[in-house]
Structure 1
Amino acid sequence: MGDEQTMTFYTYHYLNTSQGNWQYARIIVLSILALIFMIFLIHYLRNRLDVKYKDLSIIVGTLLLLILAMQYDDFSSMQSATKQTGQITTVVKESAARLKISPSRVSINSTSQNANLMIKTPKGFYRIDYNSDGTQFVLEKVALHDPNNVTVKGES
């Protein structure tokens, strides 16, 4: 008995919602920090003799700048991931249209564009075979060795 690996598929809904949630959380954290910074700064400007607000403004401002620097660093990788997820969802929609089923009933085995894409549908498993320049693809029905060893993320 060898080690069996589970093949993971991702639903259309999972692909559409997975990227957005983390981005919204980052925006909320940055907004809260910016608001706190503004409150401390206003308190300091009103009471110039009370240095605790100045110190708190400096601490929160530094934290805000640090988080903004990390955001800037992650920006290009987030853009790339969002673009790849968009490409994958397009493949799911086109595959569903060719098989005449709803995209919500199609799952794909990757969150990024690669050469070994497979989809899981109620009609079976299909391998996506791209042409040489990667602009078009055909669906080839395949039989998995162990179709029970499949997990689907985003399935309700």
Structure 2
Amino acid sequence: MSFYSYQYLYAQNEEPNFLFIFVILTLSIALIVTGVMYYRNRRDNKYRDLAIIFILSIALFFGINYNNYEKQIDINNQTNQTLTLMKSIAKEKNVSRDKLFSSSSSLSEGMLIKIGKDYYRVSFDNNLSSYTLNKTNVVDTKSVKLIRK
């Protein structure tokens, strides 16, 4: 069973997609270079064709990654809800966020929160606007894996 620290969830939520940025930047630079080459050699259509290929590649890459982008936004929103819950629990229990660990990166009924050596089961109301903490025990504490940043 894995428990994620507050810092780990926060860092995961803030990490940009470097591959997406790198590919778009590379395609854009290639488009600019071929555009300049076409402008200098207007009689040579190969640069115009290359520019069109790069424009279509950028459009295709954006189209393919748009769905992934929407999924990432949903995951970030769910993680933000968990971070808000962990802040609230830290304030309620008067503990540092460094001592909090969550069994899930998204809010779910029955998720576990580890505060120091104690484990709590989280119960939510129907619209996830309030919660109840119930102290619980883990059957095998040796199987608990703490994931920190």
Structure 2 length as normaliser, TM-score?
A: 0.87
Which of 71, 75, 79 matches 2:65?
71
> How many angstroms does 1:24 deviate by?
4.4
* CA root-mean-square deviation: 1.9
Distance in 2 (CA, whole Å) between partners of 1:108 and 1:40 is 50
**Match of 1:128, SS?**
strand
Structure 2 residue 110 is the aligned partner of structure 1 residue 116: yes
Q: Residue 120 of structure 1 aligns to which amino acid in structure 2?
A: K
Which of 104, 124, 143 matches 1:130?
124
Distance in 1 (CA, whole Å) between partners of 2:98 and 2:22 is 29
Structure 1: give runs of 5+ residues left out of the alignment.
1-6
Structure 2: give runs of 5+ residues left out of the alignment.
none
2:96 corresponds in structure 1 to 102
> How many angstroms does 1:115 deviate by?
1.0
2:76 corresponds in structure 1 to 82
> How many angstroms does 1:53 deviate by?
2.2
Q: Residue 122 of structure 1 aligns to which amino acid in structure 2?
A: G
| CA displacement, residues 104-140 of structure 1 (integer Å, 9 cap, x when unaligned) | 2211011112112111121411111223442111221
